[in-house]
Structure formats: structure tokens, C-alpha cells
Homo-oligomer: A and B are copies of this chain.
Amino acid sequence: MANWFGDEVLERSRELGPLCVGIDPHAGLLKSWGRGDDITGLEFFAFRMLEAVAGTAVAIKPQVAFFERFGAAGFHALERLIVEAREANVLIIADAKRGDIGSTNDGYADAWLHPASPLAADALTVSPYLGLDAMSSLIESAATYNKGLFVVVASSNPEGRPIQTARVDSGERVEDFLLRSIAERNEASPGALGHVGAVIGATRDRSEFPLEEMNGPFLVPGVGAQGATPSDVGRLFERCQKGSVLVNASRSISDAGPERRAIADAAQRLRDDLSSALL
């Protein structure tokens, strides 16, 4: 990807629609597809999902935990999936929720963002408990390599809300404090949209900090199995730039089963619904 990440998201999602497809090869899913819970089953699932949604989805979002459970062999499968997705011109958002301090974040940047890494994705999800300001090296590396970050701000699950709505010293909620910090990071963006994005659950209410002022892309889980609809997403982000929202769907697509055509149909239907609601 040779362009600034924010612009790449805008351009691609305005053309294709706002769909990101989660690749979640957990044991139950592989079983429901009639596959073994092993590397062969995992690869069948991941590659089949990719080929079925390429041309419809802007991005795939492999959930790294489900690869990691097979250790090095699982990461090797993820490396191959990344190569295939790049060939298929589908963006890769590594859902790894990494985040640490100082030089450790350099390690994560080298792993997930450096173009020479076998795990080089187009964007990485990060978890901010150790502070967004501790992630400067990740943010800078992402800018250098035309990559993106998605900071988990307001998760789709209820258990995260006590921390995410806690109030920092200024009286602001943690989620608003993070959105404001992200907006500051995106101020110097050379593109129409910054490269630091946020994960905001579709099941959430609007934050106090205006989402449109964050000036970065959004990655939105929670549609389908978790209860939110495309219209909910449309309302939540109605003031944001068209094309700045990527909606992730996993089960609502993989539940179509292993047939390529069925997966592609499910993805296209959802993509069309999302495009109507968002674009």
C-alpha cells in the first residue's frame, strides 16, 4: 500500500463499501464448517473466507488469538494469509490489541507495521491501558510506513464500560480523553483522514467528544451477532466523513458455511446494507 492509510481507507470504502470481514478461526467455527481444529482446518477457513470476500470487502481482520493458539505454526499460517490478502488487494487489519511501553512498542511496530516483517499488516489494533502517549513509536512507525492503527476506545462488550467511562482528572471520560488524544495525533495528517483510528462498538451511544472531530478512520464491531444493525452504525457516525467507517462482521458471514458462493452472497448483502446506511 503506497498511499497514506487514511486516504486509502476513504478511497477504497467509497468505491467498495464499508465492509471489513473478521477472520475468526475458533474451534467451534471450524467444527461447524466440518473441519478439524488444526492448522489445516484453520487455513482452509481463512483462505476460503478471503477468496470469497475479495472484491466485496475493503479489509479482512484476522483475529490473531485464533492463530496464536497454534503457536509458531499458527503465525506461519497468518503470514501466508497476509501474503494472499495483499495479492488479492484486500487490506489487512491485524486484530492483536497490542500495547505496552517504550521499546516494547518498537518491537510491536517492527512485527506488525515494518514492511519487511513477515507479519506486516496494513493496520494494527492496539489496547491503550498503558497510555496512548506510550505508543508514540507505534504511531510514528505507522505514519512512516503508510500504515494505520486502531485504538480500542469503546468496545462492543459491556464489561469494558466501567474503565472506558471512568473520568480522568479533567472530568472527561476515558473514551473521550482518548478520542481527543487521537484527534491531536491526526492534526498533522498529510491526508484527508489521519492514520490513527478508533475501535468503537456499534452497540455504544455517541461519545461526548464529537466523533467527526477525531479525523481518523473507525473500525466498528458489534453488528449482527452482537445486536447492532447497519442503521445503528449509520446514526452513530452520521456526521463523520463518508468512507471513514469500516464495519466489521464475522459470524454473520462465516455462518453461511464453507461454500464460496454462500459466503460471497452473505458478504455482498451485508455490504449493500451497510453502504445504504453509511455512504
Contact = CB atoms under 8 A, between A and B. Distances in A.
A207 interface: no
A131 interface: yes
Contact of A111 (B71, B118, B128, B159): B71
A106 B65 CA distance: 8
Contacts of A165: 168-169
Interface in A212-232: none
Contact of A152 (B98, B105, B112, B129): B129
B169 A168 contact: no
Contact of A157 (B63, B134, B159): B134
Contact of A68 (B76, B119, B157, B163): B119
A99 B208 CA distance: 26
Contacts of A168: 162-163, 165-166
A131 B162 contact: yes
A69 B160 contact: no
A97 B64 CA distance: 13
Nearest to A130: B160
A47 interface: no
A71 B118 CA distance: 6
Given A68-B119, A111-B65, A128 B75 contact: no
A164 interface: yes
A205 B103 CA distance: 24
B117 A130 contact: no
Interface string A82-115: 0000000000000001111111111110111010
